[in-house]
Amino acid sequence: MLQALQRTYLAVFRLYPLLLPLAVITACGELVYGALNNFSLPLLLQAEYRRLGIANLRDVGVILGYVTSTFLLSETLLRLPFGRLSDRWGRVTMIVLGPLVGVVSPIVIANARSFVAFYPLRVLDGCGAAALWPSLFAMVGDRVGREWRATAMSVMNMIYMAAVALGPTLAGLLISVSDYRTPFYAASGLLLLAALLGFFWLRPLVRGPAPGLEPEVIASPEAAPPVHPVWRPSRLQIVMMLVITFGQSFAIIMLAPYLVLYAKTALQLPESRLGLLFIGPAIVVAVLALPLGRLVDRWDNRAAVKLALLLAAIAMWLLPQTVRLPVLIGIAALFGVAYALGTPAWFALMADMAPETARGTTIGGFGTAQGLGAIAAPIVGGYLWRTAIHYPFYASAAILTLCTVLSLAALRGAPPIRRSGYAADLEPFGGHV
């Protein structure tokens, strides 16, 4: 076990020292975005709704939906132009500027006298996220050799998921010992720390040629991507896959801002224990990411995707049926299994179906569908929450069930596909839920 760890996780940091500052910056960034979007902001709106100018407590969910969608819209629209700017200005420049853009925003949100002020501040937060994540991901692709890139992505994904779990947990602890504003001050400090780490630690490590782009690495036989795609789906299948991409993003993001409110309202949990909801799926993904990724390599990707969608749908149907925290954590962990199993298989299918000359366009199209689902979801979830607190969960379950049924037809005829280097490179280790 330790020898395997030495050969993979520790070895990749020795070969590519810049991964360590990138990992710390990733942790700082997701501690902030995860805690603010899914924990601190919902609780602040609920606890201080009168001070913020909200007339009725039932309107908190709707306002939270619009505020969350504002952040997602800003990030989605700016990812592409900021990614292009990183090509021109340099990755480190954008990695430093991204956190700096958002340093002041959490402090102002914590002291705002009206929720209306949240909207421009959330646009600013989206700008920061759009500058940070594409540049950070691109740097991994630039600087890590293809034969190590999938391992680097897996390591970063584990760090990302650990931050997803720890962000709400730490924010809950801060609230329990202080007040609802303290996590926002901590968020500003972490963003400033990320920017300083990028400038003083990362910048000196990236001077010189990118090791991941050296000619001998690209020319190596094991690094070369397949010349021809394996699967050519029909137009109808592509449309159905786009609908599935939109649907699963919509179903998941619709719940993200309201999960903590549900736990506090239905389960009567104190703030110090609310963060436990995020630990189950995060631990599952962190532990099972590599084993399940290797399983997908040896298994039929179609079956992996269908099973993942089915498990996610079952988890959503079960979630509003329980009022016990251990059961809720277990259901969330089941959803984590679905995420860890389905993500690599789904991205492998998308990468394989795309012609080599249009792979970027194809992946970009699916990314747009995913982003549109994420933008619309919190608004719809807010209205459902105002009607009844269980409705967002049932709606999510119904959409995931529909996606499971659609996958039976959309993936028909797709051969078992084993991931190559190019497919592994497409695995996301960011995405803000």
- DSSP notation for 225-252: PPSS-S----HHHHHHHHHHHHHHHHHH
Does 355 share its domain with 246?
yes
pLDDT (tens digit per residue) in 286-337: 677 667 765 665 677 788 889 999 999 999 999 888 777 788 888 888 888 8
Q: Which range, of 136-145, 202-211, 215-224, averages the lowest pLDDT?
A: 215-224
pLDDT at 167: 86
Cβ neighbours of residue 141 closer than 8 Å, sequence gap 6 or more: 149, 212, 425
Does 192 share its domain with 249?
no
Does 183 share its domain with 242?
no
Asked if pLDDT for residue 125 goes beyond 50, the answer is yes
pLDDT at 423: 37
Task: For residue 29, give the nearest of 207, 243, 202 by alpha carbon.
Answer: 202
Note whether residue 425 is domain-resident.
yes
Domain hosting residue 180, numbered range:
17-207+214-221
Quote the number of domains for the chain. Answer: 2
The residue-averaged pLDDT of 8-34 equals 86
CB atoms within 10 A of CB 133: 26
Does 140 share its domain with 199?
yes
Does 166 share its domain with 292?
no
Does 381 share its domain with 269?
yes
CA distance 294 to 164: 23
Picking from 221, 250, 273, the residue at the C-terminal end of a domain is 221
Does 197 share its domain with 234?
no
Confidence of residue 237 (pLDDT cuts 50, 70, 90): confident
Does 429 share its domain with 302?
yes
Does 261 share its domain with 195?
no
Angle in degrees, CA 316, 372, 331, rounded to 5: 15
pLDDT (tens digit per residue) in 30-73: 899 888 888 899 999 999 999 999 988 889 989 999 999 999 89
